[in-house]
Amino acid sequence: MGSAHDGTGVRNLAMAGPAVARDRSSSRRANLGLVLRLLRDDGPRTRTRIADDTGLPKATVSNLTAELLDGGLIREGGTERDRTTVGRPGQSVEIDGTGVHGIGAEINVDYVGLLAVNLKGEVTAEKRVPFDVRAAGPDAVLDATARLIARGAERLRRAGGRVVGVTLATPGTVDLASGTVTYASNIGWSGVRALDGLRRRLGPTAPELHLENDAKLGALAEYVPASADGVRDLVHVTGQTGVGVGIIAGGQLLRGTGGYAGEVGHLRLVPSEQPCACGRRGCWETAVGRDALLRHAADPGDMVWDPMIDVARRLTELRARAQAGDPRTLDALHRIADALAPGIALLVDILNPRLVVLGGHFAFFGEHLLPTVTEQVHDLVMAPDAGGCEIVLSRTGLTATTRGAALLALDAVYRDPTRVMSTG
């Protein structure tokens, strides 16, 4: 994983790049963020090692770590012998910030969800509520989402924590500047000013709010652990009612000119005449999305179709049927695998990623999908050995989007720790 002072790492995936020092105050904030990101990305280390890794003078590092300690964002760790010195071991410092939280909120076809993490990356709150989002309409959905955020934030505050930001994740295309869901066919939204709606509902004490596409946030969540293994090129394929991809290229989140990069679910990649929510027929997601899986695996009226039952419970039921050898469920999974492979092969041919990560319901049924998809992708991709690409299952599953959203909500602290220290 790249160290905090080079061009790699999680920090550059977020809404702004590294801070640029313009005066003494901004230089101090930038250096505080530099030290904090180093400890996040590369783990505990002594002040001497921090100075070596960042190129900052030792006296400056001592002052910076003292500020971060006083601000509650780092803490003293164990002793550690510096590799380049002899003598007594030094005292290391490490990320603390257990009272500083970011919240990720997700609106999907059949649920609204929330997940909070602290600066250490520990999950501090999690909730998913079944909800027929398309039928309810934007106002009712934003009501439910605001309630979920308010209750989660209040629980964290009662425990002595502080929420520094909330990122809202939705399917479809979004305009970051205005906080608008411009078009999300699967939930029936067009031109919905989602962040304005949340601000009105949460009131003047609402934390900082941001909006982002669900697949891109899922890619961010998957990149965090993968980057520790040196992976800098990754494609995350969502397995939801809709299908999209989040692309990490060279350690950077690829958004495209208008933010539309990764909208592959509406390409015609396999033969299909199924109607799509976008109004066309034969889109890839009609062959591999959750509705396709349910259509092949169960009749309408089966509990796995019920949007008011938690999606994890419904997928667990289908997985149990597959493990029990139910012919219809197994046939459905074979169909999904056969339709999934050509699209992934196309992505591998175009992007040549190190990893393709299968998320959502694809990860739930990995043992039934992964062998077939891997074999077919290797047959279809032009480059030998699929160009070095490995197809793997999501490490974060159904929480990938909310986890990525929560990490993004904390980004402001890593860019400028004084935002928290000055009021904490």
Report the pLDDT value the prediction gives residue 229, as an integer from 0 to 100.
Answer: 85
Q: Are 176 and 421 in contact (CB under 8 A)?
A: no
Report the pLDDT value the prediction gives residue 302, as an integer from 0 to 100.
Answer: 97
Question: Residues in the chain, how many?
Answer: 424
Report the pLDDT value the prediction gives residue 83, as an integer from 0 to 100.
Answer: 57
Dist. CA 378–CA 348, nearest whole Å: 10
**Crossing angle for the helix pair 24-42 and 58-70, to the nearest 10 degrees:** 80
H-helix or E-strand containing 117?
A: strand 111-118
| pLDDT tens across the length of the chain (424 residues) | 333 333 333 434 443 333 333 445 678 889 999 999 889 888 899 999 999 999 999 999 999 999 999 998 999 987 776 555 555 678 899 999 889 999 999 999 999 999 999 998 899 999 999 999 999 999 999 999 999 999 999 999 999 999 999 999 999 999 999 999 999 999 999 999 999 999 999 999 899 999 999 999 999 999 988 987 889 999 999 988 889 899 999 989 998 888 888 889 989 988 888 998 888 999 999 999 999 999 999 999 999 999 999 999 999 999 999 999 999 999 999 999 999 999 999 999 999 999 999 999 999 999 999 999 999 999 999 999 999 999 999 988 899 999 999 999 998 898 889 988 854 4
- pTM of the prediction? 0.88
Dist. CA 208–CA 420, nearest whole Å: 13
Q: C-alpha distances in angstroms, 301 versus 240, 269, 278, 336, 402?
A: 20, 30, 25, 21, 29
Report the pLDDT value the prediction gives residue 127, as an integer from 0 to 100.
Answer: 96
Report the pLDDT value the prediction gives residue 1, as an integer from 0 to 100.
Answer: 33
Report the pLDDT value the prediction gives residue 272, as an integer from 0 to 100.
Answer: 83
Residue 246 phi/psi, 5-degree rounding, is -110, 135
- Across the chain, how many H-helices and E-strands are there? 16, 16
Tell the residue number behind the tokens 């990149």, with chain if given. 223
DSSP summary character for residue 107: E
Report the pLDDT value the prediction gives residue 82, as an integer from 0 to 100.
Answer: 57
Dist. CA 168–CA 255, nearest whole Å: 17
Q: Are 266 and 245 in contact (CB under 8 A)?
A: no
Report the pLDDT value the prediction gives residue 260, as an integer from 0 to 100.
Answer: 82
Report the pLDDT value the prediction gives residue 241, as an integer from 0 to 100.
Answer: 87
Report the pLDDT value the prediction gives residue 87, as an integer from 0 to 100.
Answer: 56
Report the pLDDT value the prediction gives residue 146, as an integer from 0 to 100.
Answer: 97
Report the pLDDT value the prediction gives residue 20, as an integer from 0 to 100.
Answer: 39
